[in-house]
Amino acid sequence: MSRRRDGLLTTESKRDFARRRKRLFEQIGPMGMVEQEYADSFVHDRWEIERYREIKAWFVASQSFVRKAVLRGKEVDALASFWGYTLRPLVELLRMRYCPVRWDFGMRYLDRDLPSTVYARLRDLIFVRDLGEIEAKLPEATAWAVALLRELDQPSASVRVVHDVD
């Protein structure tokens, strides 16, 4: 495995881990994979911590890209920005909070992994008709993500804290 100077894994080693996980899945089968912990959970946790730090560093500032696209009347840019800069990181934070083992699963299995009220709230944010809805839903989605960032920073028995343990 190749590591950077700060000890985090490089993209090449992430690919190796994904291949290993796929082979493990094929050997065990779909039900066993869900029940089995990752063979290299330390590596998976390090990626989660790295991703959390990335989101924390740029999330609030990146919301301006969505707002600019809305103000300029660029529907496609606004939708792509809303999904890329707001909803995708929000989903990752929700997964870190409610389903840390699958924090990197994206939009898949959200109905199974999130509490039903959280899923319903997210579903309402995801479906937008036009620029007006993006503009209306952006503050709620942003505030929710900021609250999750704060919550994940707080040591608590009920919240999985994404702090580096070095």
- Whether 74 contacts 36, CB under 8 Å: no
Between CA 117 and CA 146 the distance in angstroms is: 19
Between CA 44 and CA 86 the distance in angstroms is: 23
DSSP of 132-145: HHHHHHHHHHHHHH
Q: What angle do CA 85, 86, 87 make, to 5 degrees?
A: 115
CA distances from 127 to 79, 122, 133, 157 (A): 10, 9, 9, 33
- HEC string for 80-112: HHHHHHHHHHHHHHHHHHHCHHHCCCCCCCHHH
Tens digits of pLDDT across the chain (166 residues): 445 555 554 555 656 666 555 555 555 555 554 444 444 565 667 788 888 999 999 999 999 999 999 999 999 999 999 999 999 999 999 999 998 888 888 899 999 999 999 999 999 999 999 999 999 999 999 999 999 999 998 876 344 545 444 4
- Whether 161 contacts 154, CB under 8 Å: yes
- Whether 20 contacts 39, CB under 8 Å: yes
> What is the domain partition of the chain in residue ranges?
56-153
3 state SS of 3:
strand
